[in-house]
Structure 1
Amino acid sequence: MHKIFKIIAAVLSLFGIISLVRIIAAGDEAMETGEKAGLFEPMAWTAYIILGLVVLFVLVFVLQNLFTNTASLKSTLIGVGAFAAVLIIAYVISGGDTMAYKNGDEMATSGESHMVGAGLIAFYVLLAIAAISMIFAGVKKVINK
């Protein structure tokens, strides 16, 4: 299996390098005028394929590890539940906004405003939790030395 992955990685890397060389050889002027705009497509597809493979392998190996190790499954579910709780609390706290905001050429709805507010609150709460955790870990490490 490892040999197959190495061969796939080598082929995709070679294809990406060839695409990059073709783009560089065409020059900036040809790219800006759109004369050689088709050269970007193979590079983009290579990136999409690599991203898809990485996401697939991460999901497969994470799920495999979760179901073979029940202790990690329990802690993962606790973490996912805590994250979901933060998101739900942020949504409930966010009351939306009565002001009218432009979203491109259209006006943003109150639901969109509510979701943006919830996202901001969730971001701030998670940022505070991360900062407190880092400070706590640093202090604990200094005390234990």
Structure 2
Amino acid sequence: MGLHKLIKIIGLLLCVASIIFFVMILNMGDRAIEDSFLMGEEVASVTWALYVAYLILAIVVLFVLVFVLKGVFAGNVKKTLMSIGGFLLIGIISYVLASNSLDGLPLNDGKMITASASKWVGTGLYTFYILAVLAIVAMVFSGFKKLTSR
């Protein structure tokens, strides 16, 4: 049996299990699940649905890592390492630009955010902004290059 066929069978079984648990959760209703959690009880269908979700996540991450590493070593390792280095450089620049200011809205529970959390949120935002600008510039450059090459 080929790897593709095995992956399709496993995927189908996980889909069927997910659908069964989803229907079980829908049949229970929100109120019954909330009451069970408030009383400290576990709801079996929710617990097993989470286990299936964790299993699917682990399988997807494993396959992504395997095929990415396979592709990296089959292709040009130097270009891949340069791309990773560029992304890390953007992350470092974003971290330096981000402030750890505590000014802002409190969290949902009324507590204030920590300085470290504020710094990491700012880092994520700056990383997003830099990557978005780079993507827009790349699209404009690609379009301009395509227009001028005709």
In the alignment, structure 1 segments of 5+ residues that lack a partner are none
Q: Which amino acid is 2:27 matched to?
A: A
CA–CA distance in structure 1, aligned partners of residues 23 and 112 of structure 2: 44
- Alpha carbons of structure 1 residues 94 and 17: separation in structure 2 relative to 1, 3 Å: closer
**Partner residue, 2:132:** 127
**Partner residue, 2:145:** 140
- Alpha carbons of structure 1 residues 38 and 89: separation in structure 2 relative to 1, 3 Å: same
Deviations 1:43-94 (A, max 9, x none): 221111111101101101110121122x1x2221111111111111222233
CA–CA distance in structure 2, aligned partners of residues 29 and 97 of structure 1: 40
Q: Which amino acid is 1:11 matched to?
A: L
Work out whether 1:96 is the aligned partner of 2:93.
no
**Partner residue, 1:117:** 122
CA–CA distance in structure 1, aligned partners of residues 127 and 110 of structure 2: 28
Deviations 1:118-142 (A, max 9, x none): 3322222111111111122222233
Work out whether 1:58 is the aligned partner of 2:64.
yes
Alignment of 1:34-73 (within 5 A): 34=36, 37-69=43-75, 71=76, 73=77
Q: Which amino acid is 1:127 matched to?
A: A
Work out whether 1:22 is the aligned partner of 2:24.
yes
Aligned partner of residue 47 in structure 1, secondary structure: helix
What TM-score does the superposition give when structure 1 sets the normalisation length?
Answer: 0.78
CA–CA distance in structure 2, aligned partners of residues 120 and 64 of structure 1: 31
Give the length in aligned residue pairs.
Answer: 143
In the alignment, structure 2 segments of 5+ residues that lack a partner are none
**Partner residue, 1:74:** 78
- Alpha carbons of structure 1 residues 21 and 114: separation in structure 2 relative to 1, 3 Å: closer
What TM-score does the superposition give when structure 2 sets the normalisation length?
Answer: 0.76
8 A contact 2:100–2:118 mirrored in 1: yes
8 A contact 2:102–2:112 mirrored in 1: no
